[in-house]
Homo-oligomer: A and B are copies of this chain.
Amino acid sequence: MLDWEKIFATRSVRMRASEIRELLKLLDRHDIISFAGGIPDPALFPNEEFQSVYSEIFSGPTVSAALQYSVSEGYLPLRRWLSDEMAKIGITAGPENIFITSGSQQGLDYIGKLFLSPNDTALVTWPTYLGALQAFNAYEPKYDQLTLNGNRTPDSYRAAASDAGGSVKFAYLSADFSNPTGETVDREGRERLLDLAAELDIAIIEDAAYQSLRYDGEAIPPILAIELARNGGDIEKTRTIYSGSFSKTLAPGLRVGFTVANSQVIRKLVLMKQAADLHSSTINQMAISLVAERGFDKQVEKIKAVYSHRRDCMLAALEKYMPEGVHWTKPEGGMFIWLTLPKGMDGAELLAKSLETAKVAFVPGKAFFADGSGANTLRMSFSCANDQMIEDGISRLGTLIRGETAA
């Protein structure tokens, strides 16, 4: 019998199940109030709009094209619509600068594949999006902590990367209402990041998965828009690669995301996709394109109204029920609030107890740290919880934590 471990590639040894996704599988219990999942509320999907466009596609002249092979770069009308959308947020990008992926996760995977040789360094925030770490891990990088407070010099990054056996290739971050913290990088931080990237001569990967979901405060231009403003609007001179998603606004089940960048990078990504899965689902790209053209803004407004209310509820409940020594972020958008427990308290241990007694689920924060720190943090999602669930859940969790701090 074949000893598979013997013939797997070195890189495949590093794959392991995400603790979070394993956790979520355990949470399908009706007696648990879950703030763990980071998924959109299915009650907000534009079902009728999708129903109508799929029906239209099948009744129209494009049905054969919808079911046939198509081009690796993505459905042109969708790339054109995105080009117009990008212009509205200060990003001048033609269809040739836009690449459709099977979810923005695929864009992150391809970016890892495009840039990372083993032992190269990726700069990520502590904490960062776990899915990005998982995507990049396949290419065997090292991670160094991206900080924008001036604590690290470009030389210190260069030296650390060289010690690790490679060089710094990119800085990855979610600048708006990030998963997991819900925090936003301010304009000044974005400018500093652009300066740092220029000094290191590396790419910036801007994960904009939650960018459309701002509930209050003033919108900060995307990093790519700021870079474009600096260089006179020529995307061919930019180093920022913008990763976008329809999963939080329209629906994740169609697997349609996109990447916006200078055409040199886009051409490489297209070749990569051609070799890796040919193209994203033709019919789904058409459906997303039609639904987006006809009512993207309206759909986003609908979602924002619901999620901002849930965020408000959760923030109010945290204020009401959490004991002293617990701190949390106050996100201006997105789906997540990030809690910091008193030092020495462990999020994973708390979860184990919480599932038994408080019957509340959340995600221990440690998984989001590339260096394994962050034991006393946790991620709470409000996207799928109603008022009562939030009130009850946070109240019960507050009682549990209070007991723990007293102990």
Chain A residues at the B interface, C-beta cutoff of 8 Å: 1-4, 6-12, 15-18, 21, 39-40, 42-43, 45, 47, 50-51, 54-55, 58-59, 63-70, 101-103, 105-106, 109, 113-117, 120, 131, 134-135, 137-139, 167, 169-170, 201-203, 237, 239, 247, 251-255, 264-265, 268, 271-272, 274-284
Known: A9-B120, A58-B51, A116-B9. A105 touches B272 (CB 8 A): no
C-alpha spacing A138/B273, complex, angstroms: 11
CB-defined contacts of A113 to chain B, threshold 8 Å: 9, 11-12, 138
Minimal Cβ-Cβ distance residue in B for A276: B109
CB-defined contacts of A254 to chain B, threshold 8 Å: 67, 281-283
Contact across chains for A2 and B201 when beta carbons are under 8 A apart: yes
Contact across chains for A265 and B117 when beta carbons are under 8 A apart: no
The residue among A47, A203, A274 with the most chain B CB atoms within 10 A of its own CB is: A274
C-alpha spacing A44/B367, complex, angstroms: 48
C-alpha spacing A47/B65, complex, angstroms: 11
Contact across chains for A47 and B69 when beta carbons are under 8 A apart: no
C-alpha spacing A252/B282, complex, angstroms: 9
Shortest C-beta distance, A344 to chain B (Å), equals: 32
Contact across chains for A115 and B7 when beta carbons are under 8 A apart: yes
C-alpha spacing A281/B103, complex, angstroms: 9
**8 A-B pairs (CB sep. < 8 Å):** A16-B271, A42-B67, A45-B68, A65-B253, A68-B253, A69-B247, A135-B276, A254-B281
Known contacts A42-B67, A45-B67, A102-B281; 4 further A-B pairs (Cβ under 8 A): A9-B113, A9-B139, A105-B278, A131-B278
CB-defined contacts of A106 to chain B, threshold 8 Å: 276-277
C-alpha spacing A12/B267, complex, angstroms: 11
Minimal Cβ-Cβ distance residue in B for A279: B255
C-alpha spacing A171/B271, complex, angstroms: 25
Copies of this protein in the complex: 2
Shortest C-beta distance, A168 to chain B (Å), equals: 9
CB-defined contacts of A283 to chain B, threshold 8 Å: 253-254, 284
CB-defined contacts of A117 to chain B, threshold 8 Å: 9-11
Contact across chains for A275 and B15 when beta carbons are under 8 A apart: yes
C-alpha spacing A291/B288, complex, angstroms: 22
When the two chains form the complex, which single residue of B8, B239, B278 contacts A114, counting CB atoms closer than 8 Å? B8
Contact across chains for A275 and B116 when beta carbons are under 8 A apart: no
CB-defined contacts of A8 to chain B, threshold 8 Å: 114-115, 268
Known: A17-B271, A39-B68, A67-B253. A102 touches B11 (CB 8 A): no
Shortest C-beta distance, A77 to chain B (Å), equals: 15
Contact across chains for B268 and A282 when beta carbons are under 8 A apart: no
Known: A2-B203, A12-B114, A55-B54. A138 touches B47 (CB 8 A): no
CB-defined contacts of A272 to chain B, threshold 8 Å: 12, 15, 138
CB-defined contacts of A105 to chain B, threshold 8 Å: 276-278
Shortest C-beta distance, A58 to chain B (Å), equals: 4
C-alpha spacing A194/B11, complex, angstroms: 27
Minimal Cβ-Cβ distance residue in B for A202: B7
Contact across chains for B251 and A68 when beta carbons are under 8 A apart: yes
Known: A169-B7, A255-B281. A268 touches B15 (CB 8 A): yes
Contact across chains for B252 and A68 when beta carbons are under 8 A apart: yes
Contact across chains for A45 and B64 when beta carbons are under 8 A apart: yes
Contact across chains for A43 and B15 when beta carbons are under 8 A apart: no
Minimal Cβ-Cβ distance residue in B for A136: B275
Shortest C-beta distance, A101 to chain B (Å), equals: 8
CB-defined contacts of A139 to chain B, threshold 8 Å: 9
Shortest C-beta distance, A65 to chain B (Å), equals: 8
C-alpha spacing A18/B273, complex, angstroms: 12
